[in-house]
Structure 1
């Protein structure tokens, strides 16, 4: 069964929002298409169900967002999890599938300390993604 937006909302609410309300914003941002976009990105990444999504959360994720005071919405949280799990795969998918609503460069750069915490170069993400 494919993941739908209702499944994602329930997962994100239960996994992050309820236990850590200061670490995540509810919702997917300002554009209605963001919900469709993230479902597309998750599908292309190979995530088939919520169990698959749960498996890619790094053990130190909550530690990192707490320590570095990172607060993202649902869209940002999901994209960060995909990048943390396999940044090369995410970048390849971004380039191959022409993701429409990718973060602006400034948003990626603002997360540099967070990605550094996991030894992922924001510069590499920026230079490897097509405009």
Structure 2
């Protein structure tokens, strides 16, 4: 067993034994899926989706979350996923765009996205998304 797997198992054991809560920040989505009960997906420092882990990995709703989850490699080459690549360049985190920070790359962007920052909205039970296109109007 790898050191990484041993550490993840230790984290889980300690969490159960001492009823701990972790704030675990990582770019390694396989580790995030393994250790987390809930996941927040961030883009340029803003949370764009927040939900239980199984919802994020099974059916992400925000366009950035979808692209992020689709980018996770699958070990079985016969089960390759279709990936919709994001267009455009990542804006500067020092000088992010007005409105929704993802709008320059978003396939669902509308005029309002360029002007206003979308609020986190519960679109399903315990599933929050910051996206005007996904809000119930």
TM-score of the superposed pair, with normalisation by structure 1: 0.27
Higher RCO structure (Cα 8 Å, ≥6 apart)? 1
TM-score of the superposed pair, with normalisation by structure 2: 0.26
1 or 2, which has the higher strand percentage?
2
1 or 2, which has the higher helix percentage?
1
Max radius of gyration: which structure? Answer: 2
